[in-house]
């Protein structure tokens, strides 16, 4: 299993709308892609108090499955126009890690 990790930020006033966008649009579309295994979005308020940081972790069966989502360059971030309008900054590229082990969530059954 491959974890695809991406980072972005939104102002406090747009953070809730971004999370809603993920839940209603992005996650539902990901479920329809062969090889998608799940997703998490982590968030935290930044010390400034007016920005929220997000880390998106999507889980994939293989790099081939990631290419179905991301296209020919799997390291390129996929950031839809609606998300771009809500985010103040975001990574243009992602990193991929092989999931070596897990606890509490059985990804390997």
Which residues is 90 bridged to in the sheet? 8
107 within a domain of the structure (yes/no): no
- CATH assignment at residue 68: 3.30.70.100
21 within a domain of the structure (yes/no): yes
Specify the number of domains making up the chain: 1
Which tokens go with 70? 């991301």
Which tokens go with 12? 């406090």
Per-run averaged pLDDT (10 residues), the chain, 109 residues: 97 96 92 93 93 96 94 95 96 96 68
53 within a domain of the structure (yes/no): yes
Global pTM reads 0.89
Domain that holds residue 69: 2-98
d(CA 93, CA 48): 25
d(CA 96, CA 1): 10
106 within a domain of the structure (yes/no): no
The whole-number pLDDT of residue 20 equals 95
Q: Where are the alpha helices (DSSP H) in 1-109?
A: 12-21, 27-30, 63-70, 81-86
């Amino acid at each position: 299993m491959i974890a695809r990790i991406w980072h972005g930020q939104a102002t406090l006033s747009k953070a809730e709308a971004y999370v809603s966008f993920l839940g209603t649009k992005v996650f539902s579309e990901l479920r329809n892609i062969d090889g998608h295994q799940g997703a998490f979005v982590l968030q935290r308020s930044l010390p400034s108090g007016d920005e929220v940081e997000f880390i998106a972790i999507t889980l994939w069966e293989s790099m081939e499955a990631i290419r179905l989502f991301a296209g020919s360059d799997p390291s390129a971030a996929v950031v839809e126009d609606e998300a771009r309008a809500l985010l103040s900054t975001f990574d243009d590229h992602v990193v991929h890690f092989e999931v070596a082990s897990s606890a509490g969530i059985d990804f390997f059954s």
